[in-house]
């Protein structure tokens, strides 16, 4: 038998790579726990009923409380209401349009028009969120002569749309063609086959896609800065400036008097986003057909 003098070196290298991969992979997981820990430790005391139901205190009240060594009064209710309002408005439009567009892209996948649209969808998905902020400022804020919750909804809509389209398109593409054939062979109308057979069959993953899209945009700050702007009172009027949880974190970050509220708000946002993410994963697993 031929003797390979390098065998020892090769095995050593092999083991080195194995250990290296394991060590570096473990290191990568650290930031998640560091961030979770930081936010949890600093934020959990602030979370409470009043924190979720009261609006931001004004700077003066906060200053007085800080001087007396008391906890800062008030909470993030204006942000929660704003986030919900804008998200809901954006989703109500983005979900049907996104699903229809996704169906279109998967149905006409060989067509040049659908291919082009597909590439532009990728492009929109990769567009920096700050650009979406600028564009909605130009399209909505300037003509309407003012910041508004509506403008914020438009920005979130543009951010959500490509995500929903992508998940619908990908899901519909992997459905077996025999499903559509079976529906059509029974003499079903095309649209009924689409809405009653194809869509229900892919509903699980589309729903996952929607949840992920929501969790993506719920934490977005940049596109809201020049559109919804923010506000200190609880407002249900989409025609006026509106706050959102991530916007409030940004305000607290920049306002020395309110800095104590940062971590509570972050804990709230982080919990929301991570729960949406985990829920989406769960559903994706469960609804697999």
Partner 1 sequence: MQDKIFKALLIVSAIVIPVIGGGIIYSLTLDASGAFEHFGFWNFICSDDWVTTAGKEKYGALPFITGTMLTTGLALLICIPFSLPVALFTGEYFRGKKIATVLATVTDLLAGIPSIIYGLWGFYALRPIFMFLNLSPQGSGILTAAFVLAIMIVPYAASLSSEFIKMVPADLKEAAYGLGATRAEVIRRVIFPTAGSGIFSAYILAIGRALGETMTVTMLIGNTNQMPETLRTTGNTMASIIANQFGEADGLKLSSLIAIGLILFLITAIINLIGKIMIRRAQHV
Partner 2 sequence: MENIVDPILEIKDVSISYDKNVTAVKNVSACVERNTITAIMGPSGCGKSTLLRAVNRMHELYKNITVTGEILLNGENILAKDPIEVRRNVGMVFQRPNPFPTMSIYDNVLAGYTLNGISLSKHKRDDLVEKCLRNVALWDEVKEVLNKRGTFLSGGQQQRLCIARSLALQPDILLMDEPTSALDPIATKHIEDLLVKLKKEVTILIVTHNMSQAMRISDRSMFMFLGELIEYDDTKRMFESPKDDRTRAYLTGQMG
Chain residues in the site for partner 2 (CB under 8 A): 176, 178-189, 192-193, 196-197, 200-201, 203, 289
- Could you tell me which residues are beta bridge partners of residue 242? 229
Looking at beta carbons only, is 142 or 289 nearer to partner 2?
Answer: 289
Looking at beta carbons only, is 61 or 240 nearer to partner 1?
Answer: 240
Q: Which residue stretch of 44-52, 70-78, 97-105, 200-208 sits at the interface with partner 1 (rule: CB under 8 A)?
A: 97-105
- Could you tell me which residues are beta bridge partners of residue 229? 242
Which 11-30 positions form the footprint of partner 1 (CB under 8 A)? 11, 13-14, 16-18, 20-25, 27-29
**String marking each residue 33-52 x if it binds partner 1 according to CB under 8 A:** -xx--xx-------------
8 A C-beta contact, residue 103 and residue 172:
yes
Looking at beta carbons only, is 51 or 226 nearer to partner 1?
Answer: 226
Cβ neighbour number for residue 278 with a 10 Å cutoff: 12
The Cα-based distances of 254 to 45, 56, 245, 286, 287 in angstroms read: 21, 14, 14, 43, 44
Q: Is 243 helix (H, G, I), strand (E, B) or coil?
A: coil
**Gap between the Cα atoms of 95 and 102, Å rounded:** 10
**Gap between the Cα atoms of 87 and 153, Å rounded:** 6
Cβ neighbour number for residue 53 with a 10 Å cutoff: 13
Residue 63 Cα to chain centre, angstroms: 34
Q: In this chain, which of 109, 173, 196, 281 binds partner 1, going by CB under 8 A?
A: 281
**String marking each residue 192-231 x if it binds partner 1 according to CB under 8 A:** --x--------------------xx-xxxxx--xx-----
* 57's tokens: 């205190």
Looking at beta carbons only, is 35 or 52 nearer to partner 1?
Answer: 35
Q: In this chain, which of 140, 160, 199, 262 binds partner 1, going by CB under 8 A?
A: 262
Q: In this chain, which of 69, 126, 176, 187 binds partner 1, going by CB under 8 A?
A: 126
Looking at beta carbons only, is 11 or 92 nearer to partner 1?
Answer: 11
């Amino acid at each position: 038998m031929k003797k390979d003098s390098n065998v020892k070196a090769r095995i050593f290298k092999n083991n080195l790579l194995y250990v290296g991969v394991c060590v570096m992979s473990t290191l990568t997981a650290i930031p998640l726990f560091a961030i979770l820990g930081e936010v949890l430790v600093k934020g959990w005391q602030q979370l409470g009923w009043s924190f979720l139901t009261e609006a931001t205190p004004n700077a003066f009240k906060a200053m007085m409380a800080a001087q007396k060594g008391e906890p800062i009064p008030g909470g993030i209710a204006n942000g929660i209401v704003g986030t919900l309002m804008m998200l809901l408005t954006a989703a109500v439009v983005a979900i049907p349009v996104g699903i229809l567009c996704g169906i279109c892209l998967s149905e006409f996948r060989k067509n040049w028009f659908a291919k082009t649209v597909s590439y532009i969808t990728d492009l929109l998905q990769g567009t920096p969120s700050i650009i979406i902020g600028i564009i909605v400022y130009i399209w909505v804020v300037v003509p309407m002569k003012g910041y508004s919750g509506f403008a914020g909804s438009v920005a979130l809509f543009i951010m959500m749309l490509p995500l929903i389209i992508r998940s619908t398109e990908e899901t519909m593409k992997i459905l077996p063609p025999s499903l559509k054939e079976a529906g059509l062979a029974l003499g079903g109308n095309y649209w009924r086959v689409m809405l009653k057979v194809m869509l229900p069959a892919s509903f699980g993953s589309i729903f996952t896609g929607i949840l992920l899209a929501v969790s993506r945009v719920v934490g977005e700050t940049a596109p809201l800065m020049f559109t919804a702007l923010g506000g200190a009172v609880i407002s249900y009027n989409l025609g006026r400036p509106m706050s959102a949880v991530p916007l409030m974190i940004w305000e607290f970050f920049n306002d020395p008097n309110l800095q104590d509220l940062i971590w509570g708000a972050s804990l709230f946002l982080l919990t929301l986003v991570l729960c949406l993410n985990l829920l989406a994963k769960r559903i994706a697993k469960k609804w697999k057909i």
